[in-house]
Structure 1
């Protein structure tokens, strides 16, 4: 499997002169934590993340460099921190030293970059231009729903599991924080913490409503006395 198979092919992007207030609002509204920055020709010039915005706030608490630290060159770092703390545009806070991959990079190569660089996403580029982004979430989805070479359709068990998760998230009486399904050959087994028999009945009904489910089982434990919010 390659980066092209799992990447988000049309990611939200911003130009370098975008005000940071607009970026913060966009991240909050779209529930995303990082945005590629493109120049007018569509070339990738940086990446702005929620971490960059947080560093902008925290930099205001930095103390001035001491006399001896300044002699050793720490004033250059202080200047950069000042620009990040007081800048008003994306170009002032974005990261420019980026790790990127090509479309034909394997998922193993992408995972290695994310892990060694300790980053949450990597841009996919073609001749310097952005064609997509691969995030940790994209890799996790690839692990949960592998697509073999030449396969015409997705395996049914991962599809069933995603369908159950989607249905659970729509219900106020159950939380995927405490209960999670596993699917094998169409048989759904719920694991985690679950107390009320009514919740088990409702979960069984919910799972049976997902196409492809053949049987529903429970391998759950009663919640600890101090655990709040478990049905």
Structure 2
């Protein structure tokens, strides 16, 4: 999927000369956590988020540091923080280094951008103007929509087993040579060993995601690599 397939096209935005108070009211009115800032020509010039309101003089939450630390930081950094906490115009408070994507960007690229820069929204641009925005909510909507279009359930146990074995072989984290799968009446039984207990949960998830699976039984033992100790699966340990 592309950014254009999931983005919100009608975007609430604000101009750089608007006041911070106007921006805050707009965000509260529309129940949004971020506002793109656009100039009169529709070009994206910045973005304003809830985080920009954390350190404000109105709430007496400006940063306070010792004079020694301020000396080490230098006057430029301190002056910038003062502008951010006391500025009355959006242009004085907004982040002007905005991460954007174009409409043809893959969703994977959008997610990587969000993770790398720890942001919740990515404006989408085209022709020098903002055409939409992709938020975390948009990605959740896409997930739900894609789930509705899942492939039909396998016809029988043999097909379930083949699908699961194929998924295990395709994943680098999966110990394919150490795991066997048995399927009876839609119930998947996992046999064999793992060398990291987190692999156990991932294998169970892989099985549960296959249409037609009714339940998953875990018979995997955990072989601790350093000591060689063999630890029984939780289901087996409770029988003793």
CA shift digits 1:92-127 (9 cap, x unpaired): 110011110010001111111111111000000113
Corresponding residue number in structure 2 for 1:123? 123
Question: Max radius of gyration: which structure?
Answer: 2
Q: Which runs of 5+ in 2 are unaligned?
A: 151-209, 212-240
Counting matched residue pairs gives 152
Where 1:25 maps in the other structure, the secondary structure is helix
Q: State how 1:63-212 maps to structure 2 within 5 Å.
A: 63=64, 66=67, 69-70=70-71, 72-146=72-146, 155=149
Greater Cα shift, 58-67 or 115-124: 58-67
State the shift of 1:155 in Å.
4.1
CA gap of 1:128–1:59, structure 2 versus 1, over 3 A, is farther
Task: Note if contact 1:121-1:136 (Cα within 8 Å) is conserved in structure 2.
Answer: yes
Task: Note if contact 1:146-1:155 (Cα within 8 Å) is conserved in structure 2.
Answer: yes
Establish whether residue 62 from structure 1 lines up as the match of residue 69 from structure 2.
no
CA shift digits 1:136-168 (9 cap, x unpaired): 110111111129xxxxxx749xxxxxxxxxxxx
Q: Segments of 4+ in structure 1 off by > 6 A?
A: none
* Partner Cα distance (1:49, 1:21) in 2: 13
Where 2:103 maps in the other structure, the secondary structure is coil
TM-score (norm 1): 0.60
TM-score (norm 2): 0.58
* Partner Cα distance (1:35, 1:61) in 2: 22
State the shift of 1:84 in Å.
1.0
